Amino acid sequence: MASKYIALPHGVSEQTFDAAISAFRGVLGESNVLVSAEQLAPYIKTMMPVPDSDHAPSAALMATTVEQIQKIVGICNKYKVPVWPISTGKNLGYGSAAPAERGQVVLDLKRMNRILEVDKELAYALVEPGVTYKQLYDHIAERKLGLWLSMPAPSAIAGPVGNTLDRGVGYTPYGEHFLFACGMEVVLANGEVLRTGMGSMPGSNTWQVFKWGYGPYLDGIFTQSNYGIVTKFGFWLMPAPPVFKPFVIQYQDEEDIVEIVETIRPLRINGIIPNAVVIAHALYEAPTKARRSDYVTGSGSISDEAVRKITNDHNLGIWNVYAALYGTQEQVDVNWNIVRQAFGKSGKAKILTEKESAGDPAFAYRAALMRGDMTLKEFSLYNWRGGGGSMWFAPVSQARGGETLKQMSLTKEILARHGLDYSGEFIVGMRDMHHVVDVLYDKTNPKQVKAAYECFDELVSTFSAQGYGIYRVNTAFMDKVADTYGPVQRKINKTLKKALDPNGILAPGKSGIRL
Amino acid sequence: MRKTAPGAGAIGFMLVIVIAIAAATMTKAAFAAPPAPNGGFVWKDGPEVYTKVCGYCHEQGVGPVIRGRALPPVYIRNVVRNGSRAMPSFRIAEIDDESLTKLAEYISAN
């Protein structure tokens, strides 16, 4: 007899799952427990080059309160049913809303979306997991609180809890998001509720202003992990500066990344340029202005000549350095002179401000991101190859020119071997650079799906063999990346898992961690 | 203290949005979405969903233009729930069925 479920959790019989579903319905009500194929369809679509059925959930639960979540973990422990918690579910290119393993129950916290507090003077927010950046942005604008968000490119539809817990980044001076996290509430697998840092003390009013508390700092173990379900999350907001001056610096050769990084590192470390700078390759920006089919025929990767033609036709550099200055007019004027002098030395840089870039769609969306405004323009990337295939390849590099050039060349060479283009950028760092490459392919084309999978696999293997670690990865490659960090780290992660979640009910497989 | 009070703030926010949308679009009288079980955010009507989600791609040259084409509401619902190529799918938890109905009617008719 065919199952009434589209998938079952690993090792759980249909009869046992029936009992679990019945119990979930008792807690959440019938309409908040989704099991039909139609209801679960939105959870299944991913951008990864593996069958979507590999990541099909058995059910989805829409919880809205801490008490419900405590009861849910109780049921999961009783029936040994694994749950995969999501917040806004827009981890696009990293697995979207689908679970790590087929049959896991998605615990969907999108409707747990209260903005609990925004403090204007101390410039912080406390929110629930389902709050989107757009919701918080509107809340702040409506009340004229004068605070800026930092968010990733999927801004409007993503949210601060999920992004920060996966250690995502943004583009303002607060762009390294976990640095600005302050206080979490976590439902543990045993149903207890932990408030980290100062939040553990009854009556404390410093939960969102002092990160460390007393004793071991625990917040880190609830990021990129499966040791608890974060139900409240505090983070700092940036007071809106009186003056914001975005600019772009264009360079016309790939080897110029060396000069760019060597020039920008002291400016970043010394705080002259305060924000998470982006050094974007031409092919990262081109989709906002150009169509690939106008420059490429055939199935292989784009040629250097075609990229050069795109940059000439559309006012792009081969490298495009987006950064901004923030502060009073006097501060901005002083720092602008320092920036211009530093980049003016070699004569290679072309420096453009808002004035020279008026009407340029790439500059416009980059400027919006650097001041925390909502824009989804970066999704133009998905039109480059079309077909909805995307994986973020994200190795970390030292902020040294020679290292960034080496990583770029290596990535481009491997991508080209598989017929794929280098759509990459270096972002964030003072001492590091997050090298972020969108591995774009047509998911409706089986040959490209195969090529994309093999390419990504080779990228991970080759980079790790050279000592380059990947800081975040999609759900199809979590175990492979976990292995690159060695057996001792995997063992300690497992030890923590056994201690905190002895039945392994919370997101088994996240970051390669399971019993 | 000038902290924002979630309850009062949410009501103020709702009023402004309702007034703004009524003035801007002159849509049919919207029927109220069910209140959020915990006092959280809920969509007011189709235009709000369109502006705060769809419009960021479909009004910006990222996704195709979808307004003014009399697209069938059932087709719109299907694409929203299942996604299409690079367009992500949207779950019931994000856009509830009632709001999706209003959204599809709005896109189809405008």
CATH number, domain of B49, equals 1.10.760.10
CB contact under 8 A, A387 and B57: no
| Torsion sign across C-alpha atoms A440, A443, A447, A451 | positive
Across the interface, whether the CB atoms of B94 and A64 are under 8 A apart is answered no
Q: Which domain holds residue B97?
A: 6-109
Fold (topology level) of A243-465 = Vanillyl-alcohol Oxidase; Chain A, domain 3 (3.40.462)
Q: Which two tokens stand for residue B40?
A: 């959280």
Residues of B in contact with A128 (CB under 8 A): 40
With respect to residue B1, please indicate whether it lies within any of the assigned structural domains.
no
Contacts of A444 in chain B (CB under 8 A): 85
Contact across the interface for B9 and A108, Cβ inside 8 Å: no
Mutation pick from A68, A108, A115 vs chain B, by most beta carbons of B within 10 Å, is A115
Beta strands in A35-128 (DSSP E): 59-62, 83-86, 105-108, 115-119, 124-127
- The CA-based diameter of chain B, rounded to the nearest angstrom, is 51
Q: Which CATH number fits domain A14-111: 3.30.43.10, 3.40.309.10, 3.50.50.60, 3.30.413.10?
A: 3.30.43.10
Decide the pairing of beta strands A181-187 and A229-236. antiparallel
List pLDDT tens digits, range A443-499: 999 999 999 999 999 999 999 999 999 999 999 999 999 999 999 999 999 999 999
For chain B, the domain total comes to 1
Q: Is residue B101 part of a domain?
A: yes
A115-239 CATH = 3.30.465.10
Residue of B26, B32, B86, B93 marked catalytic: B86
**Full pLDDT tens readout for chain A, 515 residues:** 578 999 999 999 999 999 999 999 999 999 999 999 999 999 999 999 999 999 999 999 999 999 999 999 999 999 999 999 999 999 999 999 999 999 999 999 999 999 999 999 999 999 999 999 999 999 999 999 999 999 999 999 999 999 999 999 999 999 999 999 999 999 999 999 999 999 999 999 999 999 999 999 999 999 999 999 999 999 999 999 999 999 999 999 999 999 999 999 999 999 999 999 999 999 999 999 999 999 999 889 999 999 999 999 999 999 999 999 999 999 999 999 999 999 999 999 999 999 999 999 999 999 999 999 999 999 999 999 999 999 999 999 999 999 999 999 999 999 999 999 999 999 978 999 999 999 999 999 999 999 999 999 999 999 999 999 999 999 999 999 999 999 999 999 999 999 999 999 999 999 999 99
Token pair for A484: 């690159």
Instruction: Give the closest-approach CA distance of A64 to chain B in angstroms.
Output: 7
Nearest Cβ partner for B62 among A64, A157, A379: A379
Q: Determine the residue of chain B that is closest to A373 in CA distance.
A: B56
* Residues of chain B contacting A134 with CB distance shorter than 8 Å: 52
- Residues shown for chain A: 515
Catalytic residue chosen out of the listed positions A94, A174, A251, A382: A94
Cβ-Cβ contacts under 8 Å, A385 against chain B: none
Neighbours of A209 (CB within 10 A): 17
How many Å apart are CA A207 and CA A107, to the nearest integer? Answer: 26
Chain B, nearest residue to A95 by Cα:
B88
Q: Determine, for residues B62 and A383 on separate chains, whether the beta-carbon distance falls below 8 Å.
A: yes
Between CA A493 and CA A470 the distance in angstroms is 17
A472 is catalytic: yes
What residue of A is the nearest CA neighbor of B37?
Answer: A64
- Domain boundaries defined on chain A: 14-111, 115-239, 243-465
Q: Is B1 known to be catalytic?
A: no
Given A108, A114, A444, which is nearest B38 (Cβ)?
A: A114
Nearest in space to A138 (alpha carbons), one of B98, B33, B16, B59: B16
Q: What is the 3-state secondary structure (H, E, C) of A466-490?
A: CCCCECCCCCCCHHHHHHHCCHHHH
Distance, CA of A370 to CA of A366 (rounded, Å): 6
Please indicate if any CB of chain A lies within 8 Å of the CB of B36: yes
Residue B80 included in any domain: yes
On whether the CB atoms of residues A398 and A431 are closer than 8 A, the answer is yes
Q: Which of A130, A376, A388 sits opposite B57 (nearest CB)?
A: A376
Q: Does B60 touch chain A (CB under 8 A)?
A: yes
- DSSP lists the bridge partners of residue A419 as none
- B30 catalytically annotated: no
